[in-house]
Amino acid sequence: MDTSNFFIYPSENASEQVEAIVFLEHATDDDWQILLDFTSTRRFKSGDMVIEQGEDDDSLAFVASGELEVLIPKGRSGKLERLTTFSAGSVIGEQSFLDRNPRSTSIRAISDGELYRLSRDAFTVLSAKHPNLAMQVALDLGRILSIRLRNTTQFLSASKR
């Protein structure tokens, strides 16, 4: 089963597909600077586990550089298989950030890179100091989750044919 395009929203134009999932693509440099002031930086090396399925962590992260792969356990062996990949401009960890449940997948670095981690507590402070920016973050997380859910629905529908 090919899942390489699992999280890419269908589009006639391939370049639009990538743009459809870029986090805060219309934010200004000032907006990004404010947001990044509330984050911590994490560098990772190829092979590092950036997120582990089942861990309790309600932060989200913005991928600044590098490439990551989403891994899910398959079958009884539990062998990890690649579901999709993320690169610069992507957001990860949004489900646990929003619902405060343990991580649902693992994410491993394919290459060296860097991400910016926004904790739920830091987001609360951001919301108080910069409510419009916090609203943009929340709405964009909703947009991205909607795109990913639509793709899941389309993927499952297509796999039943």
Ordered domains of the chain (ranges, CATH): 14-152 (2.60.120.10)
CA end-to-end span of the chain: 13
- What is the Cα–Cα distance from 39 to 57, expressed in whole angstroms? 15
pLDDT at 2: 37
Average pLDDT for 90-118: 96
pTM attached to this predicted model = 0.80
| Mean of pLDDT over the chain | 86
* Tokens linked to 106: 């693992």
pLDDT at 14 over 80: no
pLDDT at 19 exceeding the cut of 50: no
Residue that has been written with the tokens 């390489």 in this structure: 4
pLDDT for the residue numbered 105: 93
pLDDT at 3 over 70: no
Q: How many CB atoms lie within 10 A of CB 24?
A: 19
Q: Which of 22-36, 125-139, 143-157 has the highest mean pLDDT?
A: 125-139
Q: 125-142, pLDDT tens digit by residue?
A: 999 999 999 999 999 999
Mean pLDDT across 19-39? 86
The reported pLDDT for the residue numbered 161 is 67
Number of H helices, E strands in the chain: 5, 8
pLDDT value of position 9? 37
Q: Which of 50, 22, 39, 61 is nearest to 144 (CA)?
A: 22
Q: Are strands 67-74 and 40-44 parallel, antiparallel or unpaired?
A: unpaired
Q: What is the model's pLDDT at position 12?
A: 36
- pLDDT value at 66 more than 90: yes
